[in-house]
Structure 1
């Protein structure tokens, strides 16, 4: 009987010790700290899933219950709290590669999608100047090409006829005046003639039509309307026989010799765009052909819904191959770095139209399209001579690990020694990333296998991509290697502790 009691008591003690070891009480509870046989006195154990758990002996993680592993058993030797060592064999196996941090002028190639649109400065609405009835429309459908001065419509108007008759009668009265007529009477009639001529102009008659009226002395009740510009009829808004009011539109005509390419850019890209800058485009319906235009306008506001900035590019379309509504892909070369003067051989020392950037002249003058004074290209930041572009620090895109707002790289300070380095990023290019802070020119950064390096840092309980801010904070506090606070597991006594022990035992048995 006594032998059975001894055996039972021994089993209870062994079970209690096993439970305490599983729970980490032996390793973490100061009075009961017992290290595993064969482990070094200063060996630290950590959880692979929660590297902040660091204990001087083996046990289980109090968070997830996983078995703790030696902090240096992951292959990385403890150098300091900011770096890890990768053995040559591991490096070859993980294919860890590095590249140098470079500083040189960088041009960002920004690509975006846009749509061809009508040049609004070359549109005209042909409307009625008088109340009347449309008797004839010469442009029968949209798409008809018309030249400046072509007749578009004939409108019947009794009001126009009455105004013409009044002018002819007044002129007849002046012609019948005798030499004895009072000067004030003659002056009054002549002033009336001038007013009546202006009245006919306001009713839509041209100077040539008024001159013909005065010559033939035949009033007409029908007025021919001419197009003020050459172009293409893009809208036909009335039909023959319709009665129209003053100002009612009949046609809309657009000159398509130049068109707009409407683009949407992110604000940070639009900030580096300047008036007159070259833009390369490829039209969807004309694959393989390149069309070059220049920036004519950058929207001063950001679209609240899309969070983009509108950019308008002017394209020459003398052949009429560019059709409004067609889609296009645009490529813009943007310098990275501080913005200053840029050099464009076609704009150096030239004069440009502030409304139409395709109008470039060697001397000051007037824009033939809008009549505005040409301005010097230096006003828009174009240099007369080639200038050195600002240099930027950059690394391969694969070198940067990003998670949320955190960005880190691993710098090889010595052969096999990789140090975590939080960085502040600038523009992200196709295969490169501009680095504003955190690196120096010539440093070697990991470009392949850096996720393995980061996992080694996590297993060693050191700063990593998940929490690089600890490295920043601790490094600012002191220059010595960082030390993380040890988390000690304190047993819970009483009935609550017993229930918790039963819960853990059940959990570990299931596991």
Structure 2
């Protein structure tokens, strides 16, 4: 039995040697498949093409796209095949269909050999550089003179190249800026006289109190108002002309007497010694500048009132974010006095001026404040939504290489082929960038390791530009 086993191994060795001698000159012969057939590992080493250079990775013994940086064994115990630097250059050819299957008469023709360090130096025959490194062969079809770049599958595996499809999606982001709560300028009123007056009595109203429209604020005596009232009564009692009565009424209105006070004089036919001044609107007393017995000059502000049922939130948007903010954009407002709560509003005005010191533009948001929780000068933080609701062609941010003067994406053409494409970008947000020109929906773009591919593409273009036509094979 032992003799029979030895004879079988000897016969297998002879067959392998014969097959190896026959296929030694064939470039793409599937050696890994014969290994699996015969179950012999060491004998077929002679049948494989002898690679040069350092071992850069290890591949599955059956040629499957499984790689390892360190020596490794497959599930059946066979060792992974060592791939050297010269073999990795055309590694995609080994994984593609062999010449016999594609109908080609033989392996692809080598056009020339390029410098392994990327220098603008080529050779029509194999050679080594000053450091002893082999020149890298360039095969027919690889140097097409265009922008398409071929990368071996081994390099793709090691560099972690990953691609995604460009798709239509809504691109938007949140502009987060600080803000201040301010009063609505249209809802502020003052109580003042238009003539010299003496304050007889001030109502029990102080700064911070809430008042309602028509509430009594003070009583005062004014000599000018008393004289105009007497003239108004005289015209009424004498049955004077309508023009005379109308002139006296107009004088009282010019002195700031409220319409209800004029109606009271007309009804009672009596001018009171002191006139009642009432609150012109609902609101909060911001200022009280009057006391009993004081003299008030024309124009003196006695009370300042503000209606806080509607409030403004003024946000300072930096200049570089201003282009993304639009009227009517949704806004989320958070104030420190209301932790865990947020208010919603919309941009009602973008002020037409950029602050010289802050380089920011003020944006106004009007929101309802029925319970009075928001008070003037409160600090707030706002998030302004940007972007249009319509979906646009967009790619992940990592897919765009921005040089400052142009933006480039790397198109994945499949089978290790890549093409740099200059694009025009639009809005950015939520991890995506709008692409306005350059690619269309469905194009596959590289989102990982694209800088490596771009660098190799630039190197290829530089070599093509630096190498003179006479030096090219």
How does the TM-score come out when normalised to structure 2? 0.63
For 1:178-189, what aligned pairs fall within 5 Å after superposition?
187-188=240-241
Deviations 1:415-445 (A, max 9, x none): 3222211111111113000001111221221
Structure 1 residues 227 and 44: CA distance shift in structure 2, 3 A? same
CA shift for structure 1 position 219: 3.5
Distance change >3 Å, CA 401–CA 160, structure 1 → 2: same
Tell me: higher relative CO, structure 1 or 2? Use CA pairs within 8 A at least 6 residues apart: 1
Matched, 1:111 2:175: yes
Instruction: Show structure 2 runs of 5+ residues with no match.
Output: 1-109
Q: CA distance change for structure 1 residues 424 and 235 in 2, over 3 Å: closer, same or farther?
A: same
**Using a 3 Å threshold, how does the CA distance of structure 1 residues 47 and 116 change in structure 2: closer, same or farther?**
farther
Post-superposition Cα deviations, 1:17-73, rounded to whole Å, max 9, x if no partner, equal xxxxxxxxxxxxxxxxxxxxxxx994444977xxxx62447999xxxxxx9998969
Task: State the SS of the aligned residue for 2:465.
Answer: coil
- Superposition map of 1:309-388 within 5 A: 310-336=362-388
Secondary structure of residue in 2 paired with 1:484:
helix
1:291: Cα distance to partner?
A: 1.7
Distance in 1 (alpha carbons) for counterparts of 2:135 and 2:185: 69
Tell whether 2:239 aligns with 1:258. no
1:382 is aligned to none
Alignment pair present for 1:269 and 2:324: yes
Structure exhibiting the larger radius of gyration computed from Cα positions: 2
Structure-2 residue corresponding to 1:431: 431
User: Structure 1 residues 245-254 or 136-145, which shifts more?
Assistant: 136-145
**Across the two proteins, how many residue pairs are aligned to each other?**
348
| SS class of match (1:54) | coil
Alignment partner, residue 277 of structure 2: 225
Aligned-pair RMSD on alpha carbons? 3.6
- Indicate the SS of the match to 1:250: strand
The 2-side partners of 1:240 and 1:451 are apart by: 80
Q: How does 1:448-463 map to 2 (within 5 A)?
A: 448-458=448-458, 460-462=459-461
5 Å-filtered alignment, 1:87-486, equals: 87-104=152-169, 106-113=170-177, 114-138=179-203, 140-172=205-237, 174=238, 187-188=240-241, 191-216=243-268, 218-238=270-290, 242-265=294-317, 266-270=321-325, 272-274=326-328, 278-299=330-351, 301-303=352-354, 305=356, 310-336=362-388, 390-458=390-458, 460-462=459-461, 483-486=464-467
Is 1:82 paired with 2:147? yes
CA gap of 1:424–1:139, structure 2 versus 1, over 3 A, is farther
TM-score with structure 1 setting the length: 0.59
